[in-house]
Amino acid sequence: MMDSTSGRAIATAVWLGLAGILAIPAETHAAGAAYQVDTVEVSEAGSCKVESWASFASNSDFIGAVSPACSVPFVRPLELSAQFNRSRSGGEWDTAATPKFKVNLISSAIGKPGLAVTGTVTYDFNSRDVTQVNLTVPVTLRLSDVVRINVNGGWMLDRILDRQFLTYGVGVDWRTPDNVWTLTAEMFGQAANTAEQHSATQPRYQMGLRWRPIDRWNVDVIYGRNITGENANWLTIATVLRFPPQGD
């Protein structure tokens, strides 16, 4: 059972998340974060965080999102989150919510790969329907204390296109020993066993730099290419605010 302090942290994270929806006017990131390639890491039970970001495209598309998350006691480390976003694509605005779970099955270590499972369901408030379902298996391999490789493989049901896709992603994180700066590069996308529009299946790319002056807060500046399949250049500003469990 979580104590009252942990409960207040969860409530604070949720309220900050709801406030972020009002503060950020904002197509959904299926992975549930500004970076698309997921890791196996799950925070200590009782800890919470609020991720938020705004993404601006060269073709005037826009994504604004906020995602409160908390780790809860379970057989294995488990994180529950919900991404809320507003987006503009082709001049049309949309609003969606994407609840997500991530459970760590094998913890990563230097030279030892870790394994997790994540799942999301996206609900579109405009159409009042579930538009997407995702299951992903992240694998993380730490090459050293400062370098790790993340590989994702999964399945996606796109109910708008009425298609199923295999999803993939590869990312590299390289941080400074003091954990103040982190450079991240990633490639991700989706593939199908039938002929699809090129925009739906061509690879997407992102590269970002994180500044983390204190442990509880960081800001990222991310350049992306084709992140929603529209061959546009993207600039993303993202932040993470963390609430550690009592005693940390």
pLDDT in tens, 37-62: 999 999 999 999 999 999 999 999 99
- Give the count of domains, the chain: 1
Assigned domain for 32 exists: yes
Which residue range is the domain that position 170 belongs to? 4-243
pLDDT at 192: 80
Tell me the pTM: 0.85
pLDDT digits (tens, 9 = 90+) for 75-134: 999 999 999 999 999 899 999 999 999 999 999 999 999 999 999 999 999 999 999 999
Q: Is residue 248 part of a domain?
A: no
pLDDT band at residue 224, thresholds of 50, 70 and 90? very high
* pLDDT value of position 196: 59
Q: Taking all residues of the chain, what is their mean pLDDT, rounded to a whole number?
A: 87
The reported pLDDT for the residue numbered 161 is: 87
If pLDDT is split at 50, 70 and 90, which confidence band does 7 have?
very low
pLDDT higher than 90, residue 15: no
Residue 195 has pLDDT above 90, yes or no: no
Residue 213 pLDDT > 60: yes
Query: For every residue of 108-156, which 3-state class applies, written as one string?
Result: CEECECEEEEEEEEEEECCCCEEEEEEEEEEEEEECCCCEEEEEEEEEE
Radius of gyration of the chain (CA): 17
- Whether the CB-CB separation of 232 and 57 falls below 8 Å is answered with yes
Residue 82 lies in a domain: yes
Which residue bears the tokens 């991720």?
Answer: 51
Q: State CA 85 to chain mean position distance.
A: 12
End-to-end C-alpha distance for the chain, whole angstroms: 17
204 close to 225: Cβ distance less than 8 angstroms: yes
If one counts every other C-beta atom within 10 angstroms of the C-beta of residue 112, the result is 11
In a domain, 226, yes or no: yes
Say if residue 154's pLDDT is above 60: yes
CATH value at residue 162: 2.40.160.40
3 state SS of 201: helix
> Is the pLDDT confidence value at 64 over 90?
yes
- Stretch 153-163: mean pLDDT: 94
| Measured distance CA(64)–CA(238) in Å, rounded | 10
